[in-house]
Amino acid sequence: MIIEIIILSIFALSFCGLAFILARKIPVLNNLPHNGTTGIRKHYYILEAEHKIKNIFNFFEKQIYLHKLLSWVKVMTLKIETRVDHSLHKIRKKSQEVNKKLKEKK
C-alpha cells in the first residue's frame, strides 16, 4: 500500500513538472515558424546537400544493391546449373555407349 502511494506521488509530481514546463514553453513554441523553415535552409549549397543525401537514402531504401546482388547470384546459379546439366548429359551419353558396347560383347 505504501509503495503504491509513493509511486502515485512520483507520477503526480512528474505530471505536474511536465505541465509546468509546457506552460512556460507554449509562448516560445507559438513564435516559431509554422512551415518549418528557418532561413538557413534556403541557401543553395544546403539544399543541394540535402538533395544528394535524400538520393543516397532513397538508393538504399529501394534496396538497389540487394537487387543487383541477388540478380547476380541468380545469373551465376543458372550458369552453374547449365554447366552441370551439360556435364550430366555427357556422362549419361557415355554411360549409354558403354552399356551398348557391353551388350554387343555378350
- Distance, in Å, from the CA atom of 98 to the CA atom of 104, rounded to the nearest integer, reads 10
- All structural domains of the chain with their residue ranges: 1-32, 38-62, 64-106
Cα R_g (the chain), whole angstroms: 36
Instruction: List helix spans (H) across the chain.
Output: 2-31, 44-61, 64-105
How far is the C-alpha of 82 from the C-alpha of 22, rounded, in Å? 69
pLDDT of residue 37: 63
pTM over 0.75: no
C-alpha span between 84 and 87 (Å, rounded): 5
Report d(CA 31, CA 34) in Å as an integer: 9
Each residue's pLDDT, cut to its tens digit, for the chain (106 residues) gives 899 999 999 999 999 999 999 999 988 888 877 776 665 556 777 778 888 888 888 777 777 788 889 999 999 999 999 999 999 999 999 999 999 988 888 7
pLDDT at 48: 85
What's the CA gap between 55 and 49, in Å, rounded? 10
* Lookup: cell for 98: 558403354
